[in-house]
Structure 1
Amino acid sequence: MSPAMNTATALAPEPGVTTVEHTFPQLLEQLAAERPDAIAMQEKRYGIWQPMSWALYRERVRDFAHGLASLGVQPGEIVAVLGDNRPEWLIAELAAQSLRAAVVGIYPTSIGEELRHVLSVAASRIVVAEDQEQVDKLLKLRDDMLAAGEQFRVERIVFYDPHGLEQYTDPLLLDFTELEGHGRAWGEEHPGWLDAQVRAGTPDEIAVICTTSGTTSRPKLGELSHANLLAMAENLTTIDPIAPKDRYVSFLPFAWIGEQMLSVACGLSKGLTISFPEDSATQRANLKEIGPDVMFAPPRIWESMLSEVQVRIDESGWFKRLMFGFGYKVGDDIAQRRVQGKAPTLGQRILSPLATLVASHPVRNHLGLSRLKRCYTGGAPLGPDVFRFFHAIGVNLKQIYGQTEICGIAITHRDDDIAFHTVGTPIPGTELRIEEGQIMLRSSSVFQGYRGNAEATAEAITEDGWLITGDAGYLDDNGHLVVIDRAKDVLRAPDGTLYSSAFVENKIKFSPYVEEAVAFSSSDGDGLTAIVVLDPATVAAWAEHERIGFTTYTDLAGKDEVYDLIAEEITRSNEDLAESIRITRFVILHKQFDPDDDEITRTRKVRRNVIGERYAAIIGALQRGDAEVSITSTVTYQDGSRVERPLTLRIFDLSTYQIPPGRGRRPVWSGRR
């Protein structure tokens, strides 16, 4: 992919923060003293935004910390938190840290073995759970473990949404507000005790434990100190300043490092106001109401926003489509000049206000992005075409690169230095080098190690502090990092071309009709094959427009017209790929990938090894060039019953396919042919 793949290259780091002097609870004390009445966070409940000042935030953290102390929580212990983003999540986190303990976040969609694994490795006695759903999962896990003769370490489950739990009498359960009340009484009996604990805390103590993505195995638990996270926050805001009045909408799981680094680390170091949507169904509407100044979201969110724009524009009349096309073209041309370091031409400056009026401003306003100063994406590659779309409509979107093991952000773009095919350059204080094609990083944000796994820690960090990322990449001519894929997943085509399956998959996923794609080599060496998962919303909208009837996702995925639609999309993607790595055959999967089936991680990264094993029959048929493949699908109903259904999936051979004559390339902003 680049001659730099097999050479050793490095970038000298910009000066960054050298020391961190505070912990998160100490920063909260400062903010409550300096800005007691300013809004620290707000949550929408029953249609009304409920604000919480820094003074009230501190008071609730202290009450809950006293409550945890009354349960015997000790320094160095780990409190688990399981649930969606709510103020109580952060209150529990800061309360545990006030006692010089740490928190481990568990994704609210986690079940069974994943729950057991995290709780076992963390040895958590106290779990703070959101609601009845999470409590039921924990109680079931307890019953299953006890029935199997295993030890269940959890001694208390503290829930913060009591709805549906009024009749529960299990002695493990305790209401969040009830524990706050116990804490107030306990604090009155121990005056000055918590203040001493907070003052005694040091930045080098473990603050948060985040699970790794676990794409190939069970997730590891990365230990991050206060100093790790706050050094990252200080270094990031050196290049991307955050002001106390800035707004941030928190809708990604706190168990993910991406949310910890912005909501918690940047939030507390800069006094950011955090808003919590009412629920997942209202996220987009709440985002529009708040109009955040800063935003972070994984590629899937940005891809879904683009898909939404495409659907809405395709439903518009011809005049609106014409005007948007004009405005987008002007914005795209200006964005292209800016990323090349050039100023807009006189003609572009004259047309820009009109283009903003008819295209970019209405779209940004509809998406809730009208006030954004800058926003980030990371966790997986974002297709250059999607990246380019948002810059064309005036959204200052930046790629980031990092891992849980280095607090999420190590590399990002600068405002005046964007390249759509790269992830940018190191933030201040971060060293980057490439050795034999592998990316290595060093900074004060490199984690402390994996909980209970010294062997994996030794494999991840060298003796002189370099983090071995396991990713392959190279530096382009401008010193930007280009990430290829996991080093073990970089492949070589029969003609010697080095390629990444992820790069090919992202080309396919740029289509608004494709939610996921997994590429595999052909047994005959003739290009690649792919399993494609449809985006149900956009394909359904297209089918309705084309007057194609369907019932379920499986029914829609088997339509000949849908296969023709995807064939054209993949053929367009192939035009930008070397011939030896083009997709030659594909199948549309009968279902979406599901994290509960271990097919994707909670952050929507494909678990390639699981896909390879579970769909081995489909992959084999693709590689052999069969015309179809017969499989058995398991359908699980809400009552837990399962039914086995035989299915026959069509395999589409692109070698004889041709796009109908006269059909132009679909514009980026439209799903129409």
Structure 2
Amino acid sequence: MAERTADTFPRLLVDLAANRPDDVAMQEKRYGIWQPMTWKGYADRVRDTAHGLAALGVERGDIVAVLGDNRPEWLIAELAAQSIGAAVVGIYPTSIGDELRHILTLSRARVVVAEDQEQVDKLLRLGQLEAARREELAAAGQEPDADELPLRIEHVVFYDPHGLEQYDHPWLMDFTELEATGREWGEGHEGWYDQQVAAGDAGDIAIICTTSGTTSKPKLGELSHQNLLAMADNLTEVDPVTKDFRYVSFLPFAWIGEQMLAVACGLSRGLTISFPEDAATQRADLREIGPDVMFAPPRIWESMLSEVQVRIDEAGRLKRGVFGWGYDVGDKAARARVQGKKGGNAAIRFLADQVATRPVRDQLGLARIRRAYTGGAPLGPDVFRFFHAIGVNLKQIYGQTEICGIAVVHRDDDIAFNTVGVPIPGTDLRISDDGEILLRSASVFRGYHRQPEETAKTVDQEGWLHTGDAGYLDEDDHLVVIDRQKDVLTAPDGSRYSSAFIENKLKFSPYVEEAVVFGPKEAGQGMTAMITIDPGTVGSWAEHERLTYTTYTDLAGKPEVYDLLAEEFTRANEDLPGAIRVKRFLLLHKQLDPDDDEITRTRKVRRNVIDERYADIIDALRRGDDRVSISSRITYQDGSSVLRELDLDIFDLTTYEIPAGRGRRPVWSGRR
């Protein structure tokens, strides 16, 4: 494993620019062509941007906000702020309204680096609302609440000028203008930048990442250079990464997972980072680059599996048969491999890989993958098993923002599909008397920004991070995560269970996008579920079945779709203990939306919002009703909206039987 040469990100960049000036540090695809940037070019742009931020009044200890999709300018702004002793707080590009205001006011950011017209419009609108509200208060002779933090934005620097040519707001500045200002400012401050980089300390805040915020507004976790680089060192001790590894950055930098690999591992090991052209070309660009290392939350792996299922279902009988044979060979080999054994005849495995599973890996952009991780939420064991069967050495990791995203990981040849592995080097783990997972390492965060009371509740005096998750160690000392402690329930037979475990069973179906499971409130009620369908896979199935529909609501309400899901859930119930099998389910008329606060930006369900917003549906499910009437406001693209009354059916699985002679659907197929 290559040793890193410095203890802060800016100093790592300086060393890389000095030792590998002409190697490619990052590349961005624009107009179908990869545009490379060398380590020297990267360092020069960081220097100019740092000078530009200083010219805008950014000082040591300040926080710069960055709002937008992944582009080189995101990382340039991050490293520039860190170079002069400031830090960055990343904001998800989908954030709006109160969530956006909460992060900006709590961080007291005066400079925001924003991607494009969409993000600039959000910020300008936020500023207008703030000004209007203060005018109203002044006119009424009132003062803002004492605990209300003001919006402090003074400058908005955008890095995609398309559509902003006619904007003349005093806040606005093009990123290239910031760099030009920096070059001019730097001419009068010779040696200042080098002094600032040298003055940086490993314990300084490097980034501020928002927590998932499943039960409240997100908190801002302060992570130091030391925190992040300790995590990178410990992870790469388990799974070595070299400078020749390729990495494709397509998940938001506001998420600790992307900071973990693209920044911490990327800079400490000198990886080349590639940025896809846009969301529509991600899969093609991923395939073109063929990354060696990849980290993604479960929804990405689940969507890849769904894509495979759709493509194979559209293939002819011969191709389906060949893949089915190759998958079975790979599955048997994978089951042996994860136990450290050899799996079957090597020649047969090679042939199966060449004709069946390798082409699928290639289509997914995973042909060269050597390190693949998932985390942020549980991944269903069946999905996990699928990727191992096609030759992807996928590993589950466990961690939180508060410990730099990773503390526990699977090891090669020691993978159990229902666990998250064992602690990485330098990490202590124990289970408290009440079943809570506690972690301690050099990667435990500095604390929550401006929330010392919350920090004290999370990290005790001995340095143990109280995760709030319930779990246990199995007979092989692998960690098994049950769920958030507050969400662990007790079945009628007295056994403890997790709603998330049941939900993952249901979500293994390619037709399910989200599943929210509700436990009984009274004896005899049983488990129930509210489901949102996957419009892509269900739509493809409906087309194959010649089933016509107009909207998502129309499709979700079809009796044929209910029957489709009933069979899927009956199969899932077969793998569940009797006490926690799902008895009734409802297909929701809409998808869960982070803009409605129903799920977080990382697609974790906000159960408190669901419990309140869908109380009538939940009550009807538990009572055993056949149908529930709700009011739903539909908003159209032109901004108009209408209130509609809808009747939603509830399906009783206790009276359903799978048609005689119908076998279990293969893992790799969506066909019944």
State the TM-score bracket (shorter-chain normalisation).
Answer: over 0.9
CA contact (8 A) 1:493 1:525 kept: no
Which structure 2 residues correspond to residues 133-532 of structure 1 after superposition, within 5 A? 133-149=118-134, 151-345=150-344, 348-435=345-432, 436-522=434-520, 523-532=522-531
Choose between structure 1 and 2 for higher RCO, CA contacts under 8 A separated by at least 6 residues.
1
State how 1:634-645 maps to structure 2 within 5 Å. Answer: 634-645=633-644
- Hey, what's the Cα distance between the residues in 2 that align with 1:18 and 1:193? 28
Letter in 1 for 2:77: A
Alignment check: 8 A CA contact 1:505 1:519 kept = yes
C-alpha distance in structure 2 between counterparts of 1:403 and 1:52, whole Å: 32
Deviation at 1:607, TM superposition (A): 0.6
Residue 340 of structure 1 deviates from its aligned partner by: 2.1
SS in 1 for 2:660: coil
Q: Per the alignment, in what secondary structure is the counterpart of residue 629 of structure 1?
A: strand
| Matched residue type, 1:462 | D
Which whole-Å CA distance do the structure 2 matches of 1:190 and 1:19 have between them? 30
Shift of 1:115: 0.7
Whole-angstrom distance in 2 between the partners of 1:461 and 1:237: 26
Q: Evaluate the alpha carbon distance shift between residue 18 and residue 428 of structure 1 in structure 2; reply closer, same or farther with a 3 A threshold.
A: farther
* Pairs within 5 Å for 1:514-553: 514-522=512-520, 523-553=522-552
Secondary structure at 1:593 match in 2: coil
Deviations 1:317-351 (A, max 9, x none): 11111111100000000001112222123xx3231
Q: TM-score, normalised by structure 1?
A: 0.96
What's the TM-score once normalised by structure 2's chain length? 0.96
Q: CA deviation at 1:32?
A: 0.3
Which SS does the other structure have where 1:197 is aligned?
A: helix
Pick the aligned partner of 2:117 from 132, 144, 154: 132
Pair 1:626-2:611 in alignment: no
| Ranges in structure 2 where 5+ consecutive residues have no aligned partner | 135-143, 145-149
Give how far 1:19 is off. Answer: 11
Distance of 1:225 and 1:218 partners within structure 2: 22
Shift in Å, 1:22 = 1.4
Aligned partner of residue 666 in structure 2, secondary structure: coil
Q: Paired residue for 1:5?
A: none
Kindly report the root-mean-square deviation, in angstroms, between the aligned alpha carbons of the 2 structures: 1.3
Per-residue CA deviations over 1:631-661 (Å, capped at 9, x if unaligned) read: 0111112232221111100000111100000
Q: CA deviation at 1:152?
A: 2.8
Q: Deviations over 1:482-538 (max 9, x none)?
A: 000001111001111210000000000000000100000234434200001101100
Report what 1:86 is aligned to: 71
**What is the alpha-carbon distance in structure 1 between the residues aligned to residue 310 and residue 640 of structure 2?**
36
User: What secondary structure is seen at the aligned counterpart in 2 of 1:148?
Assistant: helix
Deviation (angstroms), 1:305: 0.3
Counterpart selection for 2:89 from 104, 107, 111: 104
Structure 2: distance between partners of 1:26 and 1:184: 20
Secondary structure at the counterpart of residue 611 of structure 2: helix
What do residues 256-286 of structure 1 show as CA deviations (whole Å, max 9, x unaligned)? 0000010000000000100000011111011
User: Could you tell which deviates more after superposition, 459-468 or 634-643?
Assistant: 634-643
How far apart are 1:21 and its partner, in Å?
Answer: 5.2
Q: Separation in 2 of the partners of 1:83 and 1:375?
A: 25
- Post-superposition Cα deviations, 1:226-264, rounded to whole Å, max 9, x if no partner, equal 000000001100111111011000000000000001000
Q: Distance in 1 between matches of 2:338 and 2:475?
A: 15
In 1, Cα distance between equivalents of 2:525 and 2:646:
27
Q: Which amino acid aligns with 1:227?
A: Q
> Deviation string for 1:565-612 (max 9, x for gaps)?
000000000001111100000000001111101111000111111111
- How far did residue 190 of structure 1 move? 0.5
Amino acid at match of 1:327: G
In the alignment, what sits opposite 1:577? 576
Asked if structure 2 preserves the Cα contact closer than 8 Å seen for 1:277 and 1:286, the reply is: yes
- Identical-residue share of aligned pairs (%): 71
Matched AA of 1:22: D
* C-alpha deviation, 1:357, in angstroms: 1.7
Partner secondary structure for residue 517 of structure 1: strand
Partners of 2:420 and 2:600 lie apart in 1 by: 22
Give the whole-Å Cα distance in 1 for the aligned partners of 2:108 and 2:258.
23
How far apart are residue 405 of structure 1 and its match? 0.0
Q: Is the 8 A contact 1:594 1:600 kept in 2?
A: yes
Amino acid at match of 2:71: R
**2:339·2:413 contact (CA, 8 Å) conserved in 1?**
no
Give me the whole-angstrom Cα distance separating, in 2, the residues matched to 1:169 and 1:516.
43
Displacement after TM superposition at 1:20 (Å)? 9.4
- The whole-number CA distance in structure 1 between the counterparts of 2:9 and 2:380 is 36
Amino acid at match of 1:619: I
Contact 1:99–1:197 (Cα < 8 Å) also in 2: yes
Q: Which amino acid aligns with 1:597?
A: D
Question: Which runs of no fewer than 5 residues in structure 1 stay unpaired?
Answer: 1-15
5 Å-filtered alignment, 1:33-44, equals 33-44=18-29
CA distance in 2, matches of 1:43, 1:19: 25
In structure 2, what is the Cα distance between the partners aligned to 1:295 and 1:639?
Answer: 39
Paired position in structure 1 for 2:596: 597
Partner Cα distance (1:464, 1:250) in 2: 36
The 10-residue stretch of structure 1 (587-596 or 336-345) with the greater mean CA deviation from structure 2: 336-345
Aligned to 2:82, what secondary structure does the other structure show?
Answer: helix
Task: Output the CA distance in 2 between the equivalents of 1:378 and 1:300.
Answer: 10
2:353 is paired with a residue whose SS is helix
Question: What residue identity is the alignment partner of 1:121?
Answer: L
